[in-house]
Amino acid sequence: MLLLRPGAREGIDSIRGTVERVTFRSEDSGYAVLRVLPAGGAEPVTVVGNVGAAQVGEELSLRGRWVRNPRFGPQFEVETYRSVVPATLAGLQRYLGSGLIRGIGKELARRIVATFGEETLAVLEERPERLAEVEGLGPKRVERVREAWREQRVVQEAMIFLQSHGISPLLAHRIWKRYRDETIEVLHHDPYRLAHDIQGIGFKTADRIAARLGLPPDAPARAEAGLLHALSRSSDDGHVWVPREELLERAERELEVPRGPAERALDALLLSRRVAGEPPPPAVPAPGVNWVPAELAPASLAACERGIAESLADLLAAPAAGPAIDVDRALAWYESQASLRLAERQREAVARALTEKVLVITGGPGTGKTTLLRGALAILGRKRLRLALAAPTGRAAKRLSEATGLPAQTIHRLLGFDPRGGGFERRRGSPLQADVVVIDEASMLDVVLAHHLLAAIPPEARLILVGDVDQLPSVGPGNVLGDVIESGRVPVVRLTEVFRQAAASRIVAGAHRIRRGEAPQSAPDKGGDFYFLEEEPERVTERIVRLVAEDVPRRLGVDPVRDIQVLCPMNRGRAGSQELNEALQARLNPNGLEAVSGWKRLRVGDRVMQVANDYDRDVYNGDLGRIAAAREAQGDVVVDFDGRLVAYGAADLDELMLAYACSIHKAQGSEYPVVIVPLVPSHWGMLARNLLYTAVTRGRRLVLLVGSRRALWRAVRNDRPTLRRTKLVERIRAAVRSPAPA
């Protein structure tokens, strides 16, 4: 509800006043809650938003809108602001003594104003050496005050500059944190750097800023930034390479970068090696012969593909660390220790894991991947080989540890990611201290992470990649597991037999039927673990809310928030994750203490998901938690991630989303006691076999498909592979000449 002051237009208003109190401030995000006394006003008002380093006594000119907080009443929500020099000597004294300038306290501020009067600001700006005239201010302290004043003025100038060019206080604060004293210079020189350096700023935002700064539409810098953005968009779709014509057409159609400037910009990007080019087939042109690239890729991704191929070649060529293993004797020992009898195919797979330098193990649910992996690791550990187990996500690493009884961690932690420097401690030249490296959920590896991982593995180590190649490919660019298998240069164990105990599960049976292009079958009785529940599309959301809140908890005794996950083919639209999250939050957690950021409302007790890698907080895309605490006035929250509490400021809430429901892509590498999947015709474009297969294989105790039979059949029959344009297969074949043994 907007509370408009007289004369305000469309909810926009402005106030000018003095900061009386700083109730809350996040140094990381710049979000603050202030009590401001308006000019001529009798009572202070509450001001919220990204108001930088505002201090008590500082006078601000604020533009924004009045809103009503359900608990705290009227608040002024800031859109833009600027600091105003106080007009009176008393105001100036309070301003200088507010703590705004390091080294000037209340008493020193009084003496400075008493010494210079109305000339105080002119002295600080133009003749700071005169501060030596102030009683008790020695040369060293004069220098500290001069430097602190200069720093504060640089901040103010940068904030005024940014906001005058249409940049919100939130983004202005992020830009200032990134560039500091160089902020204005960077924006004048290359405003498109913002799209690469600042989270939340894309090409279009940077383009608007560039236009405000007077950069012409046909500027070479704009064309280069537009092409890099188009390449980045293609990478977001999973591709490494883009046909040249497609890239130029996309830049012209979506970004209004004309063909001529785009072609010249492309030449410049190729010359500067920010973009890599691939010649047209069939032959590589001779040295010195000019050629026009047929396909293009960000240079970093092309380098990652080459690095993966070279690392695999090094691993396959080097002898393995450790003693030779008598495979038959080792298998007999393991069967005796574990009190089990391995199937013939499992024995063959374990034997290969003991003898191959690099091995891929792939298969669907119930095919024994975990059993053979436990056996291989038990034998390798018995030989005193150093084992390193990891997975792309924290939840997948936890599952790997539970399955093997050995410690496992995320790949980022295994490699020692440095959030400050942005690199990895473990790399070529400083490799992992391991003789055997096992990576689970390898279908989630994109080309960037795979490159860094393989570069960090010493040549003498063994590498075992475990994953289900029939699942969705990685969220990031590339199709690493599929390409490694397709190359034919790396040994592969394909597990297809479903073992008796797993075959009794309708979830397992349904997943394999989907993989074969057959409709899954519901369990014949109420005690089963897999069902298709037909429902009218317009009632699917209502039905799922009832299942989550009432039916499933009553039947299985599970916690509806902790144990049930709704997995959606799409985020938007009918029965999408956004609609379902709103409906489930309203039903399961209607009255929790709330933190609000824009349209987002997070309540204590809500299930939430991290949606971006945050290396400073050590939380990663896809991590699930629950809101443990919230402060409504400040808009910040604390999230419990499996017992680890992580704080978020109001400006950081865009890293979190409600997760009663999430996309199937976000669920990769995770398992849940109960999975519910909406299937409606409006999801048509996304419905595909590997998508549904991935969703079904996430459930352990119960899987429910809810919706239209027509939509179900669409998903089962649509087996068009997710074609990703990569060159990893060719790179591996060129680097590793000998085919893998059968």
Residue 642 clears pLDDT 80, i.e. is over it: yes
Q: Which two tokens stand for residue 60?
A: 């601000």
Number of C-beta neighbours around residue 71 at 10 A: 9
Among 203-212, 236-245, 431-440, 683-692, the least confident range: 203-212
Q: What is the pLDDT of residue 80?
A: 78
* Amino acid symbol at 122: A
Q: What is the DSSP letter of 8?
A: -
Specify which residues 242 forms β-bridges with: 296
> Measured between alpha carbons, how far is 480 from 304 in angstroms, rounded to an integer?
11
Q: How confident is the model at residue 188 (pLDDT cuts 50, 70, 90)?
A: confident
Residue 7 clears pLDDT 50, i.e. is over it: no
Q: Read off the pTM.
A: 0.79
* Tokens 């096992």 found at: 438
> Measured between alpha carbons, how far is 166 from 212 in angstroms, rounded to an integer?
8
Of residues 497 and 660, more confidence is placed in 660
Of residues 509 and 597, more confidence is placed in 509
The Cα angle at residue 395 between residues 432 and 463, in degrees rounded to 5 = 30
Q: Which two tokens stand for residue 281?
A: 């087939």
Question: CB of 291 within 8 A of CB of 354?
Answer: no
Residue 359 clears pLDDT 90, i.e. is over it: yes
Buried b (16+ CB within 10 A) or exposed e, 194-215: bbeebeebebebbbebbeeeeb
Radius of gyration of the chain from its Cα atoms, rounded to whole angstroms:
30
Question: CB of 444 within 8 A of CB of 396?
Answer: yes
Q: Which two tokens stand for residue 498?
A: 């479903």
> Measured between alpha carbons, how far is 593 from 582 in angstroms, rounded to an integer?
16
> Measured between alpha carbons, how far is 241 from 292 in angstroms, rounded to an integer?
15
> Measured between alpha carbons, how far is 285 from 298 in angstroms, rounded to an integer?
21
Determine the straight-line distance between the first and last CA of the chain, rounded to whole angstroms.
69
Q: What is the pLDDT of residue 442?
A: 96
Q: What is the pLDDT of residues 568-579, one digit of tens each?
A: 999 888 999 999
Q: Beta 59-69 vs 12-25: how paired, if at all? A: antiparallel
Q: What is the pLDDT of residues 273-325, one digit of tens each?
A: 999 998 877 656 666 667 788 899 999 999 999 999 999 999 999 999 888 89
Return the sign of the alpha-carbon dihedral for residues 578, 579, 581, 582. positive
> Measured between alpha carbons, how far is 81 from 78 in angstroms, rounded to an integer?
7
Question: CB of 660 within 8 A of CB of 566?
Answer: yes
Work out the mean pLDDT of the chain and round it to a whole number: 86
Specify which residues 624 forms β-bridges with: 609
Sheet containing strand 699-707, strands side by side: 530-534, 699-707, 672-679, 564-568, 661-663
The secondary structure element, H or E, covering residue 35 is: strand 31-38
Number of C-beta neighbours around residue 634 at 10 A: 18
282 cis-preceded (ω within 30 degrees of 0):
yes
> Measured between alpha carbons, how far is 660 from 640 in angstroms, rounded to an integer?
15
Number of C-beta neighbours around residue 248 at 10 A: 21
Q: How confident is the model at residue 33 (pLDDT cuts 50, 70, 90)?
A: confident
Among 107-111, 173-177, 316-320, 507-511, the least confident range: 173-177
Torsion of CA 208, 214, 220, 223, to 10 degrees: 20
